[in-house]
Amino acid sequence: MDANTEWEPYRRELVVYCYRMLGSIHEAEDLTQETFLRAWKARDRYDERRASVRTWLYRIATNACLTALEGRARRPLPSGLGTASDDPDAPLVPDFEVPWLQPLPGRYLRPDDGDPQARATGRAGVRLAFVAATQLLPPRQRAVLVLRDVLQFSAAEVAGQLDTTTAAVNSSLQRARAALATASPREEDLREPSAGDVVERYVRAFEAADVATLVTLLTDDAVLEMPPVPLWYRGRVDYGRFMQRVFTLRPGMWRALPTTANGQPALAAYCPDGAGHRLHTLQIFTVTDAGIAHNVVFQDPAVFAAFELAPSL
């Protein structure tokens, strides 16, 4: 078995799987490389009669992730740590001691091409709200949920990957589903990145620092949060008050470059800086038929590097 030819086609989907488990793109890339290293060492023990190469690699990746998660704190977003603020002038002090949930660059997601496996390793199960919610699950429950509901492995396959029984897998899956029943928006309520008319209008209002127009594009209870700052706001009024503060602090025309993250529409925001513009934030939107329901605003150099964003325009 030649790892370069046999395993490399699975790299991207394994990175996405490890990301779903760990909530960190950097750790997901490292764990995928660890998976290949473990597979190379165990290559002589692989039996194609017992499992496909893909199933075997996922077993190794699952064990690597579970080992990495031992004793780890979950990766939250600010809204998972405390109540919303109503003070638009609250100090913006980043807390890099918290292992914040990271976003997933769009380059890791396959376009829908009719292949159920490709769709499973695409947008399903990578939305920020879903990944944040799964962080609340014990790691083995998280693995069962992702392997069964997202990646569509059979209960028997998952039992083999986790060295447990089919009954235990089914029981874990029921508990995980119950825990996440109300944790994230229903899929049918969400808008795809291609249906980005609301986001396009948001971008125009954002670039013009037009808060009055910007807030009309939000749902009534829209959430704005800003890791690594442990601060978040809920509702059009407080969202708008905070954005007015941002534009007052950095007056002038902003620039916003569209992108995608976690299968969701996103933008890279550049603030006025002398004669040009400097990278300010990466913003990821949850869009429903009622408007923009959630904006997670990252201002983290590690996230900027993962998305390969230009530092200035």
Whose tokens are 């013009």? That residue is 208
Residue-level pLDDT at 275: 86
Mean pLDDT computed over 260-285: 94
Neighbour count for residue 257 (Cβ, 10 Å): 16
Mean pLDDT computed over 92-106: 95
For residue 217, report the phi and psi dihedrals to the nearest 5 degrees: -90, 0
48 — pLDDT class (breaks 50, 70, 90) = confident
Taking Cα atoms as reference points, which of 198, 202, 144, 209 lies closest to residue 173? 144
Q: Are 184 and 127 in contact (CB under 8 A)?
A: yes
Over residues 197-225, the pLDDT tens digits come to: 899 999 999 999 999 999 999 999 999 99
Beta bridge pairs of residue 62: none
Over residues 17-34, the pLDDT tens digits come to: 999 999 999 999 999 999
148 — pLDDT class (breaks 50, 70, 90) = very high
Residue-level pLDDT at 188: 47
Residue type, 192: E
The token duo for 251 is: 């007056």
Mean pLDDT computed over 234-254: 95
Cα–Cα distance for residue pair 22/291, rounded to 1 Å: 30
143 — pLDDT class (breaks 50, 70, 90) = very high
Q: DSSP secondary structure string, 259-274?
A: EEETTEEEEEEEEEET
Residue-level pLDDT at 16: 94
Mean pLDDT computed over 57-77: 95
Cα–Cα distance for residue pair 80/296, rounded to 1 Å: 12
Residue-level pLDDT at 131: 94
Cα–Cα distance for residue pair 94/300, rounded to 1 Å: 9
Looking at the chain, the whole-number percentage of residues with pLDDT higher than 90 is: 76
The token duo for 19 is: 């990301």
Cβ neighbors of 250 (< 8 A, separation 6 or more) are: 271, 272, 280
Mean pLDDT computed over 259-282: 94
Strands 276-288 and 264-273: antiparallel
Strands lying side by side in the sheet with 218-226: 229-234, 218-226, 291-298, 276-288, 264-273, 255-261
Q: Which domains does the chain have, with CATH numbers?
A: 3-184 (no CATH), 188-306 (3.10.450.50)
pLDDT at 95 over 60: yes
The secondary structure element, H or E, covering residue 225 is: strand 218-226
Whose tokens are 């009669």? That residue is 49
Mean pLDDT computed over 254-271: 95
Q: DSSP assignment, residue 110?
A: P
Q: What is the mean pLDDT of the chain?
A: 89
pLDDT at 112 over 60: no
Residue type, 181: A
Residue-level pLDDT at 109: 86
Residue-level pLDDT at 4: 52
Over residues 283-303, the pLDDT tens digits come to: 999 999 899 999 999 999 999
Lowest mean pLDDT among 62-71, 116-125, 209-218, 236-245: 116-125
Residue-level pLDDT at 172: 95
- Stated length of the chain: 313
Cα–Cα distance for residue pair 225/88, rounded to 1 Å: 12
Cα–Cα distance for residue pair 204/77, rounded to 1 Å: 27
Lowest mean pLDDT among 2-11, 101-110, 115-124: 115-124
Q: Are 196 and 286 in contact (CB under 8 A)?
A: no
pLDDT at 192 over 70: no
**pTM (2 d.p.):** 0.90
Beta bridge pairs of residue 118: none
